[in-house]
Structure 1
Amino acid sequence: MRRVLMVNYYFPPLGGIGSLRALKFATYLPEFGWEPTVLAPRDGAYYRDPSLAFPEERVVRTRSFELSRLGKRALAAGGTDTEPAVVGPLLGRAREMVRRWIYRPDAQVGWYPFAVSAGRRALRARRFDAIVSSSFPITAHLVARRLQRSAGLPWVAEFRDPWTDHLEPRDPRRRRDEPLERAIVAEADAVVVPSNDWADLFRRKGAREVAVITNGYDSADIPARHPPNGFVVTHVGSLYPDRQDLSAVWPALAALRGSPGMEGLRLRFVGDLGPAVRREIETHGLGSLLEVTGFLPYRDALAQMAASSVLLVAGARDPRPLLKGMIPAKVFEYLGTGLPVIYVGDPATDVAALLAGQPRCHRVPPGDVEAARSALRAASTEVPGERALGAFTRRELTGRLAAVLAGLAG
């Protein structure tokens, strides 16, 4: 069996999509002839998810110097690994300067020396055939690049999201980081991204080989459907008002409230809900129907998802090019439940194309209240059922990563 060293800052017990994706790759790679060893921090600065676990004997844990924790301690203004410190204008400007000029390339750069040292020891102790790193953080790629230069192994760099393209054109960080981004992309033997549009983006940046490996789902993770008491409209995960817009849904729900099929209407957010979106919802008289769970471990979030009537996807609110390739990871678990799905966003995106090929999936352009009303009416009458999702199982997707590794390792 061949061996691969996976460089992942986000890995269980840390939570989040990046951690889950790495966990699933590490779990299924042995089925395709690859034995993974994961290089990860011992005490990373992020929330813990007790529902995610991996055998510790296959993980190399390292120290990490967490700059974000140090900064919050210096500011003496509270904050946690997932919440910023509350500061005034002066300290706020100081914090922004630190983020802009000291967190280079990111706040996890304090992991770099420990990860490189531990990675070198691991490479000396056993024979490896390839290295895979995943960002964010970009620091993981810097670690992998240093190890690759020492060991001469094939290196796959995964970008779960674009890097410098998220920054405004005039942002000095963009001009500063673009040369490093292009160097990483050019030096990696292959680049992995989760969508077709972002694959084109990284080809333009000079990637030699680009593989598209979407996020996915595990049927074993999806709990049995539990029909809710009433009509429950659920959104899972974070909502980003600067690039997503569900505002068409609120007046549509208000107009349909109490109509046949909509009895016992509830609007559930699994995760946090920002004050601006909450005000939008309350403006339409839906405040009394609102449920906000706050953060939940992965498996508890899936249980809330399965106990719903219809699931909401917030897509791109406008045709900005970068947003075309954004496929929310939860979409695949949504599809796996068999429940109706309503997508609100730009119809010319990768996620809209994905949903167009699946039954019981409705697409609503941003701001189109009538289309949202029609989608909700249709969803209220639909019976959940299986979908053809073989291409999006975690096992199948891991097989694609294994094929990339095999092609490079020879």
Structure 2
Amino acid sequence: MKKVLIITYYWPPAGGPGVQRWLKFAKYLRDFDVEPIIYTPENPSYPLTDESLEAEIPKSLKVLKHKILEPYTAARIFSKKDTQTISSGIIVKEEKQSFLQKLMLYIRGNFFIPDARKFWVKPSVKYLDKVLDEQQISSIITTGPPHSLHLIGLQLKQKKDITWIADFRDPWTNIGYHNKLRLSKSSQKKHAILEKEVLNTADHVLVTSFTTKKEFEAKTPKPVSVITNGFDTEIASENPSLDKKFTFSHIGSLLSGRNPLNLWKAFGELVRENKGFAEDFELRLVGAVSGEVLTFIKAEGLEKHLKLQQYVPHEEAIRIQRCSQVLLLIEINSEETRGIIPGKVFEYMAAKRPILALGPENWDVYKILENTAAGQFFEYSEKEKIKRHLVDLYSAYKNNRLQAESLKIDHYHRKHLTAKLANLLKEI
């Protein structure tokens, strides 16, 4: 059985979507004659935790751990809230940032390149140099963000005769918050140099979206493959106890940039114009929500229709998805985010509830929704189209025929995706 070392920062009890990609790959790789070995920090600082995910770790899976120096732990002395939000990628608009927030962003962007986990690189390379020999491992995979983990792969590749796959769950210099880190010109240059070195040294580059593949192919001659995220639940054969209210649910963080004003306006107009809609409508937001987003929602008179929940365990998130009338998928409206395919879209499809998606023009998610008939996509500017669609959804809800087709979504099951990864490992 072929061995592969997977170097990942996020591992249970880490919560959020970042942990699930490689937790699920590790769950199924042995079915395809590949033995995964996990390497992860011994004392990480996670912005979210979900202890329920620990039950999904295969019992016989070997997990290696090594200490990490975590600057975010020290930063909490000054501001626990700001430290947690910045490490989660929630960055308020510049004009609303406090002096402390600006200072923390400047330090994060210019003193921790490529990110705050850079101090784990050197001790990890020293530790893994011996592990690779002792365990007779000839293939490694690094997954980022944090992209400093790719520097571990880079240095190991430079020292040893190994095969290295660099997996990008999100882009590097094109990631949505990169330009908000108050980077100096020299820091921007350092990021670009490191990104180029990683892309040109890895044997294969793995990405989660079609746009990122196209962007990276313009930066490196090395092969780039797409393996999207997916779902690992049974596809809902019928709707289990749907909410009685006309619920629109968003599961996951709503950053300041994810603020579709025209959606809130469309909701607000329908609440004021349609008494029945106002009586039935509920907006449920599960996870961290930026204060700026809440301000705009409340400004549209939606506060009494708003239900806020903090981060919930993954199993509860799945239940909420399957009980909701409509599922909201919202991405930052920028060219840089066209290649971001949120992991939850696949679980949304498995829930077989209609998806209402808002994001940038030419968003990769549009292609997936179009091919699966799992929902409708709108650009941020399309208020009247959004409003008409909301009216159609409400009519279907009142007539008990609100559902989604979700065609051919089995291709996005985690086991099917793991088969693609295993084939790639064997080919390389």
TM-score by length of 1: 0.90
Residue equivalent to 1:155: 164
Q: Distance in 1 between matches of 2:383 and 2:105?
A: 39
- Is residue 401 from structure 1 mapped to residue 401 from structure 2 by the alignment? no
Distance 1:350 1:99 in 2: 30
The 1:290/1:378 distance shift into structure 2, 3 A limit, reads same
Instruction: Tell me the equivalent position of 1:64.
Output: 68
For residue 165 of structure 1, give the secondary structure of its aligned residue in structure 2.
coil
Q: TM-score, normalised by structure 2?
A: 0.86
1:278-293, aligned counterparts within 5 Å? 278-293=294-309
Distance 1:142 1:7, change over 3 A: same
Is 2:242–2:323's contact at 8 Å kept on the other side of the alignment?
A: yes
Corresponding residue of 2:409: 389
Q: Is the 8 A contact 2:110 2:183 kept in 1?
A: no
Could you say which residue in structure 1 is the equivalent of 2:288?
272
Q: 1:383-408 deviations in whole A, cap 9, x for unaligned?
A: 33552202111111111111221111
User: Using the alignment, how far apart are the partners of 1:396 and 1:274 within structure 2?
Assistant: 35
Q: Residue 307 and residue 81 in structure 1: after superposition, are their counterparts in 2 closer, same or farther (change >3 A)?
A: farther
Match of 1:351 in 2: 365
Q: How many residues align?
A: 401
Identify the match of residue 314 of structure 2 among 298, 302, 325. Answer: 298
Matched, 1:250 2:260: no
The aligned residue for residue 237 of structure 1 is 252
Taking a change above 3 Å as real, the CA distance of residues 403 and 271 of structure 1, as seen in their structure-2 partners, is same
Unaligned segments of structure 2, at least 5 residues: 88-96
CA-to-partner distance for each residue in 1:11-39, whole Å, 9 max, x for gaps? 11212212111101111111111100000
Q: Does 2:242 match 1:227?
A: yes
Distance 2:377 2:220 in 1: 34
Contact 1:316–1:323 (CA<8 Å) still a contact in 2?
Answer: yes
Query: 1:82 maps to which residue?
Result: 84
Is the Cα–Cα contact under 8 Å of residues 14 and 49 in structure 2 kept in the other structure?
yes
Which residue identity is paired with 2:52?
A: S
Alpha-carbon shift at residue 196 of structure 1 (Å): 0.8
Query: Does residue 378 of structure 2 align to residue 377 of structure 1?
Result: no
In the alignment, the residues of structure 2 paired with residue 366 and residue 83 of structure 1 have an alpha-carbon distance, to the nearest angstrom, of: 24
Assess if the C-alpha contact under 8 Å between 1:231 and 1:262 holds in 2.
Answer: no
How far off is 1:236 after superposition?
1.3
Does structure 1 residue 178 correspond to structure 2 residue 192? yes
Give the superposition deviation at 1:347: 4.4
Could you tell me which amino acid in structure 1 is paired with residue 53 of structure 2?
L
Please report how far the alpha carbon of residue 79 of structure 1 lies from its aligned counterpart in structure 2 after TM superposition. 4.4
Indicate how the Cα distance of structure 1 residues 385 and 121 shifts in structure 2: closer, same or farther if over 3 A, else same. same
Distance 1:93 1:254 in 2: 34
1:48–1:340 Cα change, 3 Å: same
Q: State how far apart, in whole Å, the 2-side matches of 1:10 and 1:102 are.
A: 22
- Separation in structure 2 between the aligned mates of residue 210 and residue 385 of structure 1, nearest angstrom: 33
Q: Offset of 1:95 from its aligned partner?
A: 3.1
Per-residue displacement from partner, 1:271-300 (whole Å, max 9, x unpaired)?
A: 122222212111221110101101112222
Q: Distance in 1 between matches of 2:100 and 2:264?
A: 38
Q: Which amino acid aligns with 1:265?
A: F
Residue equivalent to 1:311: 327
Q: Which residue of 1 aligns with 2:94?
A: none
The yes-or-no answer on 1:131 pairing with 2:151 is: no
Residue type matched to 2:154 in 1? R
Give the alignment's Cα RMSD to 1 decimal: 2.5
Q: Quick one: distance in 2 between partners of 1:112 and 1:170? A: 22
2:209 match? 195
- 1:118 is matched with 127
Distance between the aligned counterparts of 2:31 and 2:277, measured in 1? 45
- Match of residue 91 from structure 2: none
